[in-house]
Structure 1
Amino acid sequence: MKQLTLILGVLFIIGCKDSPKIKQGPIDKVVNESVNTNDNAGILKNNDSLLVEKGKMYAQSTQKVLGRNLLLNIQNNGVLGAVAFCNEKAYPLTDSMAIVHHAKIKRVSDKPRNTNNQANKKELEYIESFKSKIKNNESYEPILTTENGNTQFYLPIVTNTMCLNCHGVPEKNIDPKVTHLLQEKYPNDKAIGYKENEVRGIWSISFNNEQNN
């Protein structure tokens, strides 16, 4: 059981979970580069609903590929080997899924483990929006923006108990050996100190509205 817990914990190095509180219905539409916080923003057009589902599919399929490959590495090389694997292969695998979907797929954060995952100004605003809703125990939607035939899709990555094995408090949640290796691989690591049910980052996905994959 302990080994299973460790395996599942490290699995969440590459991203924890999509929140179960995502509603089915109107989304948080973004107009003129600003977050629309009006809960009565209106009913989604059919095309918007399709774009939301497409964004979710891209995020979920990429997460499955990352998770499957990481779990295989854990089975072959152990937990510490999986940390090294994530350091070396998470980006190439994400890029490969971006090619498959003809999309730009990123996982970004206000507290990145890898500095390449630092959220930009706009993404930081959306992270704070998701944080506020989760903190207040509110349901929320993926954020969708469209401009010139392109869609930008944002979906939060929310911590659960398993995530804390790699993103919790060192010594309390994270094994010292894992902490040591993380410090070695990620000297500028900020992705620690989380509690359960907190926004660790977001999926930031861009794709052409006309693509059918």
Structure 2
Amino acid sequence: MRKINVNLWGIALLVFVNLNCVNTKGKNTTMRDNSEEKLYLDLGKNIAASTQAVLGKNLMIAMAKGGPEYALEFCNSKAIPLTDSMAIEHKTAIKRVSDKARNPLNEANKLEKSIIVSIKEQLNKGDTPKPEIREVKGKMVAYYPIVTNAMCLQCHGKVNETVQQKTFEKINDFYPNDKATGYTVNQLRGLWVVEMQKTK
């Protein structure tokens, strides 16, 4: 039975990764050279996708081992350190942010929140959410939408619907100021933010 569960989580992980950080045709407000824009968007996409894959693999193992409650323990203690280790590997800065953060360290700043609003408007219109890229303090910063799917909803959905009561209690134990429940499928959960040094 566990083997079946692991396989199901593997499929869910692939869907999760494919639904996030895959669209690189975002409009840009600061760069004029579309080829340069695409270069940075592609670079950032690869960094975000590889980081997502590492987190997803570990999350899948945690879910298979002990369900959503065990996965919450993983997220609480390992998600940010794993993300930081990938930033070191890629020699860049990368983080996940949200306007409805679970961990206060993932709270979006003013600029990031404005991008979140813009991407939510795209989703509300039925459009595919697009990443954005900006020049910020001499660095190129790319923002990739993280969109919810069924797997996300076990910890981020509606309480007593997709989030079980025991999971909700564990969320409150780890994150007493949590703002990250109530989502449904295909909503914007937040952004991957990848900061890159300019090459020119």
> Deviations 1:137-157 (Å, cap 9, x if unpaired)?
123431011256521000111
Contact 1:19 1:158 in 2 (8 A): no
Structure 1 unaligned segments of length 5 or more: list them: 32-40
Q: Residue 70 of structure 2 aligns with which residue?
A: 81
Query: Structure 1's 143 and 172: CA in aligned 2 closer, same or farther, altered over 3 A?
Result: same
Give the Cα separation in 2 of the matches to 1:195 and 1:19.
Answer: 19
Which residue in the other structure is 1:30 paired with?
A: 29
Residue identity (%): 38
What is the TM-score normalised by the length of structure 1? 0.80
Answer yes or no: is 1:131 the counterpart of 2:120. yes
Letter in 2 for 1:28: K
Q: Distance in 1 between matches of 2:104 and 2:154?
A: 20
The aligned amino acid for 2:53 is K
Q: Which runs of 5+ in 2 are unaligned?
A: none
2:48 is equivalent to residue 59 of structure 1: yes
Of the structure 1 ranges 171-180 and 66-75, higher mean CA displacement relative to structure 2 is found in 66-75
**In the alignment, what sits opposite 1:18?**
20
Alignment check: 8 A CA contact 1:55 1:153 kept: yes
Mapped contact 1:168–1:192 kept (Cα < 8 A): yes
1:172-183 equivalence runs, <5 A: 172-183=161-172
How much does 1:77 deviate? 4.4
Q: Is the 8 A contact 2:145 2:188 kept in 1?
A: yes
Provide Cα deviations, 1:112-170, integer angstroms capped at 9, x if missing partner: 00111110000000000000001101234310112565210001111122221111110
In the alignment, residue 29 of structure 2 is paired with which amino acid? V
Amino acid at match of 1:192: T
Are 1:202 and 2:191 an aligned pair? yes
Partner of 1:116: 105
Deviations 1:41-79 (A, max 9, x none): 97x532221111001011100000111122223344444
Report the equivalent of 1:142. 131
Question: Where does residue 160 of structure 2 map in the other structure?
Answer: 171
- 1:8–1:179 CA distance, 2 compared to 1 (3 A): farther
In 1, the alpha carbon distance for the partners of 2:100 and 2:137 equals 31
Q: 2:172 & 2:43 partners in 1: Cα distance?
A: 36
Q: Kindly tell me: are residues 19 and 106 of structure 1, through their superposed partners in 2, closer, same or farther at Cα, counting changes over 3 Å?
A: closer
